[in-house]
Amino acid sequence: MRIPFVLLTGALFCLLVSPMATADKKLGLEASLVDADKNAAEASAVVRVEVVGADLIDPALATPGSKAIQAHLHYRVDEGPVIATPVAKLAFHDLTAGRHRIEVVLADSEHKPLGPSQILEVTIPARLVGYDQ
């Protein structure tokens, strides 16, 4: 039995192109501050992140060799510790008065950056001592 050349070529093309399509999948990250002024007045910052091209998953639960890109987010305020989580909305409370830098990075299961990242800035106003809102 002879397999038509067109079918054989098509099958070979699918085998070769399919893994490349996964590898070339465009990764994207869009971070924003939720109700920035209102939260800043309360010494807080709430970050919402939208990710394209990857599934957010706990790095401990990532499946080696998965065709899907499995990732999580790294959040960092100023020079503080990195928070590694699959959560796409995170709140930071009790921030000190002044300007703060919040970095959000898309990372793989080994905590290596995948490329997309964004830096947000928030300014927490000074409060008068003994003044409660």
Expressed as residue numbers, the domain containing 75 is 27-124
Helix (H, G, I), strand (E, B) or coil at 114: strand
Residue 89 lies in a domain: yes
Structure tokens at 42: 């309360």
Residue at 54 is within a domain: yes
Answer yes or no: is 75 within a domain. yes
Domain of residue 65, CATH code: 2.60.40.10
Pairing of strands 55-56, 70-77: parallel
Look at residues 64, 83, 81 and name the one whose alpha carbon lies nearest to residue 72. 83
Per the domain annotation, does 31 fall within a domain? yes
pLDDT in tens, 27-74: 999 999 999 999 999 999 999 999 999 999 998 898 887 878 999 999
Nearest to 69 by CA among 15, 28, 130, 125: 28
Alpha-carbon distance of 100 to 76, in angstroms, equals 10
The predicted structure's pLDDT at residue 132: 53
Dump pLDDT digits (tens) for 6-36: 433 344 333 333 333 344 568 999 999 999 9
